[in-house]
Structure 1
Amino acid sequence: MRRTVALLGACHPGPALAVTVLAGLLAAAVGLGPGRIALVVVAVLAGQLSIGWSNDLVDLARDRAVGRTDKPLVDGRASERTVRIACGVALVATVPLSLACGLLAGLVHLVCVAAGWAYNLGVKATPWSWVPYAVAFGGLPAFVSLTAEPDQLPPLWMSLAGALLGVGAHVVNVLPDLADDAATGVRGLPHRLGAQWSPVVAAAVLVAAAVVIVVGAPVTGVVAVVALVATAGLAAVALLARGRTPFRAAIAMALVDVAMLVWAR
């Protein structure tokens, strides 16, 4: 049991679970049946597991250099061989599971997974570190929509909102690790913006995602007003607060955007 927990701890379980749950909610929102919802969820979960495990494998030397004892690979709770095998199995499984959702839908999802791997393999250390997140999050609603309706492309606003949400998620995800990343030579967009401007950019793109959803989707009345007011209030907190509060505020903004995106579907 301890080995299993350690293995799961090396897959970045928080982000992997969040993306998988979002895919399941979107699948239910577009009207897929239980079987197809399960297929979408399993395909996305497999892809996310491969991305999470590959991230810790690629970053192992960096994590050891900065003493990241919270990582199972660093402190020995999970063996490198075990994680490599698990990562390979998850990656191989992602291909047939994705294509089972439909050829076009499956190809879109495989592009999303490839974007995550590209980030892990080096894009994260460049000014273009935000691009894989934009591609992956922008492609996720398209994947789910094409699974439901293979002959109909999803509306542009949906992918745009997803891409903005992805960029915000990228900046928010990196915020707690800016110092450790900088010490090991990782200089993506958030690192170049710095601790002062990263929360500003995260707040701006997450607010933009909320506006895109309200304008492009049938989100009107009380729901739209509550969502925009909540987003604006959280943006103010992210800009004015100190410590880890901006990080938490940005996470809350992302949750509001996700709730609206699901509601809109």
Structure 2
Amino acid sequence: MPSRAPAGPPSGAPAAGRRRPWRAAWALLQASHLGPALAVTAFATALCAGMGAAVGVWLAMAGAVLLGQLSVGWSNDWVDHARDLRVGRADKPLAVGSLRVGVVRGAALTALAACVPASWALGWRAGGLHLLAVASAWSYNLVLKRTAWSWAPFAVSFGLIPVFTALAVPGRAGPPWWAVAAGALLGVGAHLVNVVPDLEDDAATEVRGLPHRLGARASTVLAAAAMLVATGCLVLAPGSGLIGPPGAGLAAAVLLVAGCAATAVARPWSRLPFALAMAVAAVDVVLLIGALGAQA
């Protein structure tokens, strides 16, 4: 495992307050887990637009989902602040003193508050389910990441994405079961590969989620299986066959999953497997749009 740089001064140190405003803003963006937040926002927006939503609807979807994801990312760093200090997480702005805890806590709660009216603007069904997905993600940060049920919030939140994006489109029914199953499986796979690089740090702070109980190798194998089954659901369940885009999508997903598994085994502390898992999710979003479009 690569060595971690020691943590910097406590997050409330006076030095943090003397940083230039743009540096503080950049640190706040880093604390939001911006990459995954933008990826999930892009997936949900693409699904909504691909199912025929008007521009105003999918723009509203993008705003609501982004606010929800930012609240989840900031709450993660806020809740994990003490743990990150203990293990010297040099990649976390709070742990190195770039931000104060109160700033990140305030950002998380502000984004969450703004997410409520932004979600209701999508309609009570779509908005309510989106808020349920956000609440599920917060439950992971607050409680479930330390239990054997750590996978459940990812299954719930990702499984709800095709549901609330479909229901936001006027006149559109909810998605078929296989779309929900694929989203849930992708969420579980992403959770497993995202946690593997942090297993030792988490063990030092008594976090015992499902990946910690399975170990790095079993978590990687299970993640690969979950992502492949998710893609299989989107290719085989709609009955569109393996000719053309569905077959190409399945082949691309197989290659990405193989790369994800190989990297996780060879370099267990690498973040590349999570990026590859997001690439599988992007392929599956394209497959899902095509499958739902064919059934419309």
**TM exceeding 0.5:** yes
Question: CA distance change for structure 1 residues 35 and 254 in 2, over 3 Å: closer, same or farther?
Answer: closer
Structure 2 counterpart of 1:178: 199
Q: Is 2:114 aligned against 1:93?
A: yes
The Cα shift of 1:253 comes to: 3.2
**Alignment partners' CA distance in 2, 1:33 and 1:92:** 25
**Alignment partners' CA distance in 1, 2:244 and 2:118:** 39
Structure 2 counterpart of 1:242: 266
| TM-score normalized with structure 1 length | 0.93
- Mark the structure with the bigger radius of gyration: 2
Structure 2 counterpart of 1:261: 288
The alignment partner of 1:72 has SS state of coil
**Number of equivalenced pairs:** 265
Q: Is 2:247 aligned against 1:225?
A: yes
The residue type equivalent to 1:38 in the other structure is: L
Structure 2 counterpart of 1:127: 148
The alignment partner of 2:95 has SS state of helix
Q: 1:209 aligns with which of 224, 230, 251?
A: 230
Within 5 A, what are the aligned runs for 1:103-182?
103-149=124-170, 152-182=173-203
**Alignment partners' CA distance in 2, 1:238 and 1:141:** 24
The Cα shift of 1:152 comes to: 2.5
Of 136-145 and 80-89, deviating more is 80-89
**Alignment partners' CA distance in 1, 2:236 and 2:32:** 36
**Alignment partners' CA distance in 1, 2:124 and 2:274:** 38
Q: Is 2:102 aligned against 1:81?
A: yes
The Cα shift of 1:252 comes to: 4.0
**Alignment partners' CA distance in 1, 2:233 and 2:67:** 30
The Cα shift of 1:150 comes to: 6.0
Conserved? CA contact 1:29–1:262, under 8 Å: yes
Q: Is 2:60 aligned against 1:39?
A: yes
Structure 2 counterpart of 1:66: 87
**Alignment partners' CA distance in 1, 2:237 and 2:249:** 14
Unpaired stretches in structure 2, ≥5 consecutive residues: 1-21
The Cα shift of 1:182 comes to: 1.4
The alignment partner of 2:148 has SS state of coil
The residue type equivalent to 1:94 in the other structure is: C
**Alignment partners' CA distance in 1, 2:44 and 2:281:** 15
Conserved? CA contact 2:235–2:247, under 8 Å: no
Conserved? CA contact 2:47–2:165, under 8 Å: yes
The residue type equivalent to 2:182 in the other structure is: A
The residue type equivalent to 1:87 in the other structure is: A
Conserved? CA contact 2:166–2:172, under 8 Å: no
**Alignment partners' CA distance in 1, 2:216 and 2:180:** 28
Structure 2 counterpart of 1:56: 77
Conserved? CA contact 1:199–1:247, under 8 Å: no
Structure 1 counterpart of 2:10: none
The Cα shift of 1:248 comes to: 5.5
Higher helix share: 1
The Cα shift of 1:222 comes to: 1.9
Within 5 A, what are the aligned runs for 1:25-36?
25-36=46-57
Question: CA distance change for structure 1 residues 127 and 212 in 2, over 3 Å: closer, same or farther?
Answer: same
**Alignment partners' CA distance in 2, 1:150 and 1:91:** 28
Deviations, residues 181-225 of structure 1 (Å, cap 9, x unaligned):
111111111111111111100100000000100123365422222
The residue type equivalent to 2:280 in the other structure is: M
**Alignment partners' CA distance in 1, 2:116 and 2:275:** 34
The alignment partner of 1:73 has SS state of coil
Q: Is 2:211 aligned against 1:187?
A: no
The residue type equivalent to 2:286 in the other structure is: A
Question: CA distance change for structure 1 residues 41 and 132 in 2, over 3 Å: closer, same or farther?
Answer: same
